[in-house]
A and B are shown apart, each in its own frame.
Chain A
Amino acid sequence: MLVSLITADDPAICNRSLAKACEPMDAITLLAECRELDAFRREAENLYHRVRAIFFLQAIHRFHLPEKLPTEASGSIPFEGYQDLLARHFEEAIDTFLEIQEKDGPSDGISSALAAAYHQLAFQTLANQVRRSVRTVRGNQWMFRMGHPTDHPLRIRPELLQQDEHLFPVICERTPVRMDLTHSAWSDIFFLGMDFPQGARVVNVSVDLAVHGRDSKPRPPVEAYLRIIDQPVLRLTSIDLKASAEITALADVFDFAKDYLGLLKAAVIASGIVPPGIEGSGKSLAALLARIAGPGRGIEIISSVNDIPKGSRLAVSTNLLAALISACMRATGQTQSLTGELTESERRLVLARAILGEWIGGSGGGWQDSGGVWPGIKLIEGEIAAEADPENGISKGRLMPKHKVFDTTEIPNSARQALTDSLILVHGGMAQNVGPILEMVTEKYLLRSSAEWQARQDALDLLDQIVDALSKGDIRTLGRLTTENFRGPLQTIIPWATNHFTETLITRVSEKFGDDFWGFWMLGGMSGGGMGFIVDPSRKQEALNIIHDIMLQTKRELENALPFAMDPVVYDFGINPHGTFGELHRGEVALLPPAYYHLSLGDALRTPPADLSATASAELDQFARACRTDPAFSSSVEALFDTLIPRTEEDANEDRSLDELLKKNGFDRAQHEQIRKDLVGGRIGLAQNRLPANTTIKDVRAEDITDFTTSTPNSENLVLGEKALQNGEVGVISLAAGAGSRWTQGAGVCKALHPFVRLKGRHRTFVETHLAKSRKRGSQAGTSITHLFTTSYLTHQPTRDFLDTVANYNYPGPLYLSPGRSVGQRMIPTVRDLRFAWEEMPQQVLDEQQQKMRESVRTALIGWARGAGEASDYTDNLPLQCLHPVGHFYEVPNLLLNGTLAGLLTERPQLKTLMLHNIDTLGADVDPGLLGHHLASKAGLTFEVITRRLEDRGGGLASINGRPRLLEGLAMPREEDEFALSYYNSMTTWIDVDKLLDLFCLTHHDILSRDQDKITQAIRAVASRLPTYITLKEVKKRWGHGQEDVFPVTQFEKLWGDLTTLPEIDSRFIVVPRSRGQQLKDPAQLDAWLRDGSAKHIESICEW
């Protein structure tokens, strides 16, 4: 029956939502449907039928089947299938999982594995098709056939080979960026455009930019320069990234991550100068260059985006790629004209090549991104594939859209001016990854979820209204429509299109400007970076500064909670009437941007004049002349001086502040040096984290656990728990000391303060959500619960400030922060550990191009580790980013050490139990039944575990040499052992305070009297019995204008779960429902979390 949703021609059937169709089906029917869908997708010849069936299967296994299975059966996931999944052998993985499902019956675990495998298979199938289509675009095909320099068909245009006073002429390509009025709900994603061409519609505007207050006037922000040089090399320079390289080997052209020049290399390849077909041929780059430019000659290419910050949502990098490709195509005679605008067919080819370039570089958004190549305001629409198209029979639409540029009769100049007079274009400063959003959009489109499908239709209607308003110059209406688009279709499909920062800005701007604020305009894939505010033109000048101030103030308030890459900026802009535009500069005016000379002339200046080549001398003369006569070069001498004599004072300051921080946070230098010594000596490291290979690891027996997924705590225990609650005998510890590395990819903000989701109409932080649960349980018990957040050097002050700002969210009970008392200093990883992590541990193999990119990055990182010194201190970052927390084991001892427990016991001497949980375990609350069970069991520690899904990696509950305990993933001697374990550690722990103190050989008196020495000794004694794990974490280094690099660094930690190895304390284990125990580790999980009912569950246990 579900197959008919895919194959039907009738839109009423084929656009029906999968969720609706699954609603009435029971588990048996759903499994039968899955069998039918799986058989169908294996046979289906039509690409989109196949992909839709795969997405259906994924959704059924992720969302619909698990909730209908009789119990949360803990089926095991076969390791063999998991390995296939990592190696991208999706079909084999699916077969293995299906076999197990057939043999052991359906289960939550096996469904999670199938969902993951189908999900990846679907995207792989789609990506492969886009790639095939990119290759088959006419004009691109030959580049994949050419494999030898002597076959190279391109020649540099003769005009570029004629030297003038020893200088070769320079092509300068200037390209605007694109600002999208609407993308009709991301409809330009290739997959959507190719399946639903009639719904793929975008209106975007080519704009020139200036940073308000910094630049004098708007100009095309993207520039590419190309000239011939008299050396047989490819010389590439990115002015903004301050990176330059002379490439002499063909293989290095294809090594994208070796330096910051990946985009320039992609352009060189996609433009056909070094065609993709020649990769791996082992031929000489000099021979290839000789063929196209003449013997002994090479090509120099320079890129500049005039310091426009990254993440502007204006497709700066795609338009830069397009500008570079245009310049390369002009130089090699692939365009009719060396200068001026491009013809329509040339623009289309540039678009096709930019898509190719993005694919080669392992990235890629949608087809509207190259919009800056076209002039003015245009409507870009998908096209239905015709018989002669390579897409025919495969997809409904073509890969490439068609562009209709509006002329001044359709959108008069007055309307264009009105838009310019009302729009404030900004970059909010947030750093975000749009990639997951594009995947979510694709998946939701293919599932035709009803609200989202309707939203897509609404977005298309809005496009027509937007064009109508624009053509009338009715900018007030335009503002209303862009707001409606943002509030309606965009957020219906992707709630994550907005965030707390954006909402706060809109509220504040709206409060400030009242009726003169005409609307909000989201740019690109999501808000927070590039955005637009539309105001009454009479207030625009004033608004430029006010909105800047509002953004800056809001950023200051939220910068510890949300990842910002930079301070917000406001742009001045103008509509560009040309699209990409080429100029040829000769002789005296054959100049490159001043910043290029600052980067490149250092070497020439250090060389004695007699040793300089004629070209180098001529270039120096030319630069000197420009410095005297050209105002653009007026500050060049100083800038050049700065690059020749680097400043050192700042670095010294940073070192001092790192030392101070270490001292302040209880850094143990002796321990640090010991760890370094052990690391260098190979005594500790990733490989040494593991238990001995002969350890017997088995799944726990039924008697080792108490299962609360199939039964509820008995009524006696419930009463016991309720009573303890009423008496104020229980407190909650939320672990909020970590930076949430996975949450923000090492951005160093406080995860606890992240307003991660809208619940009950507002964005809520993790802190607020946890307090809301305690508030509810407290009020149910007629009391208030003590709630405590552990913090660290990184999170303490921001958390303190934040809670002050929000007045503790009016939490009625005692609220404590427990600051960390131990810290480590990050180190440069050893090559041995890097290799172990990348080669010995199971890795998700990426898609072909992305995998190449990853390998290239890894080679570069190994070079970095060697160069920077293995196991030396990591100091090349902000001081706070050089420190690390030392593992959550220490967080409870810190309570003892920093006096928090003493305070708690003083305030509530009756306190007997603490419930400890991770900041991202949103379902954990003081459940009286579970509390009663813990109390009745008289356990020292009761750990909550959940049944395992594929994504629950990193250890679990195991029987080790016959004894049940929690085993960290780091300590697993063999990867496959983890797959034999049915339960995953949720980290939530019920702690008997007295028994914990017994473990430390401490008493209430020791705590209350704050006997620091005794407490310190006690903690050291317990800690020394726990293993020290070496881990690699990712840390972000921010630089330039919104640029970010991610480095792996070494740190160590001791983990809470290892307390279960100590026989002196009685550890018990209970299995709790997934809704209580699951964790939110990655923002990419949020969408599914919202869809599978988890968010609703959290709302039900909160009182705001």
Chain B
Amino acid sequence: MTPRPLRLVIRPKLFRITEVSMKIRKAVIAAAGPQQQHLPLQTLVSPSGETKTVAAFQLDEIFASGIESAAIVIAPGTERDFSSAIADHLDKVTFIEQSEPLGYGHAVLCAKEFTGDDRFLVTMIDHLDLSFAEDSCLKQFLSIAEQTSGPVSVVQPTHESKLHLYGTIGGSRVGGHENLYEVSNIIEKPNPTVAEQELIVPGLRSGNYLCFFGVHVLTPGVMELLEEAFSSDVKKLPLTSSLAAATRSEKYLACEIKGLRFNIEEPYGLLRAQLGMALSGENRDEVMGSVIELITATRR
């Protein structure tokens, strides 16, 4: 069933009200980073008890949320591994090789031809979501993004002690929407000294900032900004600086959704992701019992 278009009552100067859903059909998935080449091939047990690879989890959710085709940006020589990990979705997937590790922004830029004139979803292969709502995290996000025309990012309130891990936005709440923000500034991994001066979002608890969740809907305009920023002598093309530039050229929004996201690259990231899934699934009691047993047995 096609979701009913959301009618957002938003001040016109902030962004255009759309009656018609601007459907997002394409996704770009970054999978070329050094860790991204192996970890996504690890298997996990889903909340329903099914065993599959991290990459398969991602692809399942992406296509279930209405995306029709995806480009996976990979490091040279890794296509075979990914193909076997996502065998069910191969018909809708295009592999694009990033010849050199020139950064996340560059990985997205590699998919320029694939995205063409369309807005597109950007995510990473090594991140997993856990929704607290009926809809998956991606579905929640896309249903908001499809009501807008500019770039949109998912954000989550994050304590200042974790700022060094994330891109962080500054902005203000969009009137009438509890979880929607107009973004005025984006800084990659700021420290709280800078964040307090430039990234305060009214209404958040003190010491908390809105940090990227790792999922965006971007526009052809952002692709152009990436292209402008890229030249032959660039050694790393980050995504965040082009997103920051986009706040000055387009109406850039951010939204909160009901869910958790796990970066499996972090220390114990895979374990946390697995525990999160297990504790929210059918076997919650059994897993809890095992965890408590472990805690007791390893008590010092």
Contacts and interface: CB of A to CB of B under 8 A. Distances in A.
Interface of A: 138-142, 145-146, 150-155, 272, 329, 332-334, 345, 349
Of all A-B residue pairs in the complex, the 4 with the closest CB atoms, nearest first, are: A151-B161, A142-B192, A334-B193, A138-B196
Contact of A153 (B161, B197, B206): B161
Nearest to A148: B161
A332 B196 contact: no
19 contacts: A138-B196, A138-B197, A140-B196, A141-B206, A142-B207, A145-B207, A150-B161, A151-B159, A151-B160, A152-B161, A153-B161, A154-B191, A155-B164, A155-B191, A329-B193, A334-B191, A334-B193, A334-B194, A349-B193
B161 A349 contact: no
Contacts of B195: 142
A156 to B, nearest CB: 11
Given A145-B206, A150-B161, A153-B163, A138 B200 contact: yes
A345 B197 contact: yes
A332 B196 CA distance: 16
Contacts of B159: 151
Contacts of A142: 160, 192-193, 195-196, 207
A117 B196 CA distance: 39
A958 to B, nearest CB: 58
Contacts of B197: 138-139, 345, 349
Interface in B156-197: 159-164, 191-197
Contact of B192 (A150, A153, A329, A345): A153
A338 to B, nearest CB: 14
A22 to B, nearest CB: 47
B196 A153 contact: no
A964 to B, nearest CB: 65
Interface in B196-211: 196-197, 200, 206-207
Contact of A141 (B161, B163, B191, B196): B196
Given A141-B206, A142-B193, A334-B191, 20 more contacts: A138-B196, A138-B200, A139-B193, A141-B196, A142-B192, A142-B207, A145-B207, A152-B161, A153-B161, A153-B162, A153-B163, A153-B192, A155-B164, A155-B191, A272-B193, A329-B193, A332-B191, A334-B193, A345-B197, A349-B193
A153 B191 contact: yes
A949 B129 CA distance: 75
B113 to A, nearest CB: 35
A142 B163 CA distance: 12
Contacts of A329: 193
Contact of B161 (A138, A146, A332, A333): A146
A630 B194 CA distance: 40
A1091 B159 CA distance: 56
A153 B200 contact: no
A152 B192 CA distance: 10
A289 to B, nearest CB: 16
Contacts of A272: 193
B160 A139 contact: no
A373 to B, nearest CB: 16
Contacts of A145: 160, 206-207
A856 to B, nearest CB: 28
A139 B196 contact: yes
Contacts of B191: 153-155, 332-334
A138 B195 CA distance: 9
Nearest to A141: B196
Interface centre among A141, A151, A152, A153 (most CB of B within 10 A): A153
Contacts of A150: 161
Contacts of B164: 153-155
Nearest to B196: A138
A855 B206 CA distance: 33
A139 B197 CA distance: 6
A332 B207 CA distance: 19
Interface in B236-254: none
A826 to B, nearest CB: 49
Contacts of B206: 141, 145
A332 B190 CA distance: 11
A150 B162 CA distance: 10
Contacts of B192: 142, 153
A145 B160 CA distance: 10
Contacts of A332: 191
A272 B162 CA distance: 16
A1031 to B, nearest CB: 50
Nearest to B200: A138
Interface string B124-163: 0000000000000000000000000000000000011111
Nearest to A332: B191
A820 B293 CA distance: 87
Contacts of B194: 139, 334
Nearest to B161: A151
A333 B162 CA distance: 15
A592 to B, nearest CB: 27
Nearest to B165: A153
B193 to A, nearest CB: 4
A151 B160 CA distance: 8
A153 B190 CA distance: 9
A348 to B, nearest CB: 9
A150 B193 CA distance: 17
Interface centre among A141, A150, A152 (most CB of B within 10 A): A141
A141 B200 CA distance: 12
Nearest to A345: B197
A329 B191 CA distance: 11
Nearest to A353: B193
Nearest to B162: A153
A705 to B, nearest CB: 64
Interface centre among A150, A151, A329 (most CB of B within 10 A): A151
Contacts of B207: 142, 145
A984 B96 CA distance: 95
A135 to B, nearest CB: 12
A324 to B, nearest CB: 16
Interface centre among B162, B191, B193 (most CB of A within 10 A): B193
A155 B192 CA distance: 11
A272 B161 CA distance: 13
A150 B267 CA distance: 15
Contacts of A349: 193, 197
A138 B162 CA distance: 18
A334 B198 CA distance: 13
Nearest to B192: A142
Contacts of B161: 146, 150-153
A150 B194 CA distance: 20
Nearest to B163: A153
A354 B195 CA distance: 20
A145 B207 CA distance: 8
Interface centre among B160, B164, B191, B206 (most CB of A within 10 A): B191
A704 B194 CA distance: 73
Contacts of B160: 142, 145-146, 151, 153
Nearest to A154: B191
B227 to A, nearest CB: 25
Nearest to A142: B192
Nearest to A149: B161
A678 B162 CA distance: 63
Contacts of A151: 159-161
Contacts of A138: 196-197, 200
A141 to B, nearest CB: 6
A334 B163 CA distance: 13
A326 to B, nearest CB: 13
A166 B133 CA distance: 54
Contacts of B196: 138-142
A139 B196 CA distance: 5
Contacts of A152: 161
A140 B197 CA distance: 9
A138 B192 CA distance: 10
Nearest to A145: B207
B83 to A, nearest CB: 36
A138 B191 CA distance: 13
Nearest to A348: B197
